[in-house]
């Protein structure tokens, strides 16, 4: 899968059966976003996470990822303390994603154990790319540290479409980085509960 030294090490085997995970994805570059989200969900479920405990939300673009992740996690904390079961987040908890199929998910009560933020930024002719990449990266890191919840960094910042396709597993020599993010979400979510 990877030549040389570069690339992730083997995923730690953790039990994801009791985890609740949010996947928040941008709607820019959707032909790339879709396989990335599918790859993440595949590894979440291979790690034992129940599909009913995966909430998938979409936002207009990567710029909106931090506020959506923060709002989703904060709402899950409030609901967990006030509504021990049932429809955890109401409309906020329903999957509103580009990804076809699957019922609107209503995660069971309890704060999310990890969040995967997914976006694809492709460098253009201006410095717009740099502003979004820098701000979104800092924003996602801040949520991790402010809330103590793992936010898996699924923001592809690429120089051209070919680089993005490779990292979405859409080329013969590619690898779907969404799978790595799903595995990381299981490991970090399980470790958060230890």
Ligand X SMILES: O=Nc1c(NC[C@H](O)[C@H](O)[C@H](O)CO)[nH]c(=O)[nH]c1=O
| Residues near ligand X (CB under 6 A) | 26, 28-29, 60-64, 119-122, 128, 132
Distance of closest approach, residue 159 Cβ to ligand X, in angstroms: 12
Active-site residue set: 128
* Residue whose C-alpha is closest to residue 14's, from 41, 57, 56, 43: 43
> What DSSP designation does 90 have?
G
Distance of closest approach, residue 27 Cβ to ligand X, in angstroms: 8
Distance of closest approach, residue 82 Cβ to ligand X, in angstroms: 31
d(CA 64, CA 12): 30
Nearer to ligand X, 83 or 141 (CB): 141
d(CA 116, CA 14): 17
Q: Beta-carbon neighbour count of residue 16 at 10 Å?
A: 25
Host H or E run for residue 23 = strand 21-26
Residue number with the smallest Cβ distance to ligand X? 61
Distance of closest approach, residue 57 Cβ to ligand X, in angstroms: 14
Nearer to ligand X, 26 or 186 (CB): 26
Residue 169: phi and psi, rounded to 5, are: 75, 25
Q: Are 81 and 33 in contact (CB under 8 A)?
A: no
CA atoms within 13 A on the CB side of 106: 8
């Amino acid at each position: 899968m990877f030549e040389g030294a570069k690339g992730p090490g083997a995923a730690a085997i953790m039990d994801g059966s009791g985890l609740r995970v949010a996947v928040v994805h941008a709607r820019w570059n959707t032909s790339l976003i879709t396989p990335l989200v599918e790859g993440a969900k595949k590894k979440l479920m291979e790690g034992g996470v129940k599909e009913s405990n995966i909430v998938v939300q979409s936002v207009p673009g990567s710029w909106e990822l931090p506020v959506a992740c923060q709002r989703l996690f904060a709402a899950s904390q409030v609901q967990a303390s006030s509504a021990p079961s049932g429809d955890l987040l109401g409309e906020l908890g329903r999957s509103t994603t580009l990804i076809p199929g699957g019922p609107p998910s209503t995660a069971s009560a309890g704060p999310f154990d990890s969040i995967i933020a997914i976006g694809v930024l492709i460098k253009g002719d201006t410095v717009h790319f740099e502003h979004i990449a820098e701000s979104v990266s800092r924003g996602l890191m801040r949520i991790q540290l402010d809330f103590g919840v793992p936010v898996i960094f699924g923001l592809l910042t690429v120089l051209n479409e070919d680089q993005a396709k490779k990292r979405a597993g859409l080329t013969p020599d590619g690898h779907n980085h969404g799978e790595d993010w799903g595995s990381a979400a299981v490991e970090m979510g399980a470790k958060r509960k230890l």
